[in-house]
Structure 1
């Protein structure tokens, strides 16, 4: 579950971003970033499985041999983006938790921030959870996911004593937020209650309900 759970926003947000095209084989001063931006735009259009590395090269305006200076293959390119996605999640979740000192409020804020990340950074969300990246081949993904959860477990630990209980509570809250994020993306929320704000509020309310259950011992 740790691995199922974020580039700085200015690096990853695709609004208004267009890849600079160059003639094939021409030197690119920022090749790695250009390829990552191209891959993000392709994922946004087609999903994490809907493009090839050659297409990312064409979108970035570089030769098909260019990526191998930085990425062994397409999966390595996606893994690099997933790492940056984890960092963005950590930034967002950290800011959400810092907004209050009440642990129940912190977990509710985390759940809402989870849903907002999924909506605002759809391509990164899809890469993280739907690309099927091999974490044995890319152990840095496991490390990033673990680090992200490790920053949140102490918050849950203020509600559920003991590391195992705290992790269990955090997993349940994250799972609920993840489900709501997917429901929102797929248009599965009730009509009239299907906006991002509604989904955030529902995620926060669910987190508070889980906290209350934990406190009551059931």
Structure 2
């Protein structure tokens, strides 16, 4: 009787390959940054052959683009949840600013891919689509405070920029490493958002 042929484990079922590669890439981003690893490294981390990623991703940038889309979608979910719990638009934008800081602190690898991977949006239109969906969640809130879409976009940009800077400072340790540093920074972002809203209202008066 011929003994059964032993097969080498394939690492992941084909249906889970894409998710396995994305998880592996996100781990590598956390360790080395969005530019510090190769597609081969992601393959090895995921436990698949170096040829396997090409079933889903043309190259490393395509894999990073998929992660960036995930980042945009998670931000949208977090920000939508933050603003939906409140009624006043000033409170909503302050909550958005705080949620921005929390996202950067709690999901640093996704934050880095989204903002620092240098991805070509012309090559990956899904990035622009995800970014537009995120903007569409917040722009109507800002429009309740300002007069006109341009002014609403400007206010949202100023609040986002302030929250982004504070989030980066937090991650760099400029606000300390105590357990309450995150919440203090989130509070600072919300306070700054309110100041920018007051300034926008004053300018429009």
Match 1:48 to one of 20, 29, 34: 34
Q: Distance in 1 between matches of 2:180 and 2:133?
A: 32
Partner of 2:5: none
Partner of 1:121: 107
Match 1:132 to one of 118, 132, 147: 118
Q: Distance in 2 between matches of 1:144 and 1:183?
A: 26
Moved over 6 A (4+): 190-194
Larger Rg: 2
* Alignment TM-score, normalising by the size of structure 1: 0.86
Q: Answer with 176-185 or 28-37: which moved more.
A: 28-37
Partner of 1:101: 87
Q: Distance in 1 between matches of 2:22 and 2:177?
A: 36
The CA deviation string for residues 171-203 of structure 1, in whole angstroms up to 9 with x for no partner, is: 000000000010001112368797101110000
Unpaired segments ≥5 residues, structure 2: 1-7
Alignment CA distance shift 1:161-1:35 (3 Å): same
Q: Distance in 2 between matches of 1:182 and 1:137?
A: 28
The CA deviation string for residues 103-126 of structure 1, in whole angstroms up to 9 with x for no partner, is: 000000000000000011100000
Match 1:209 to one of 171, 195, 203: 195
Partner of 1:65: 51
Partner of 1:156: 142
Indicate the SS of the match to 1:30: helix
Partner of 2:97: 111
Partner of 1:199: 185
Q: Is the 8 A contact 1:26 1:63 kept in 2?
A: no
Unpaired segments ≥5 residues, structure 1: 1-21
Indicate the SS of the match to 2:37: coil
Indicate the SS of the match to 1:133: coil
Q: Is the 8 A contact 1:23 1:62 kept in 2?
A: no
- Return the offset for 1:26: 7.2
CA RMSD, Structure 1 to Structure 2 (Å) = 1.9
Q: Distance in 1 between matches of 2:78 and 2:46?
A: 28
Partner of 2:21: 35
Q: Distance in 1 between matches of 2:155 and 2:199?
A: 10
Q: Distance in 2 between matches of 1:38 and 1:192?
A: 29
Q: Is the 8 A contact 2:159 2:193 kept in 1?
A: yes
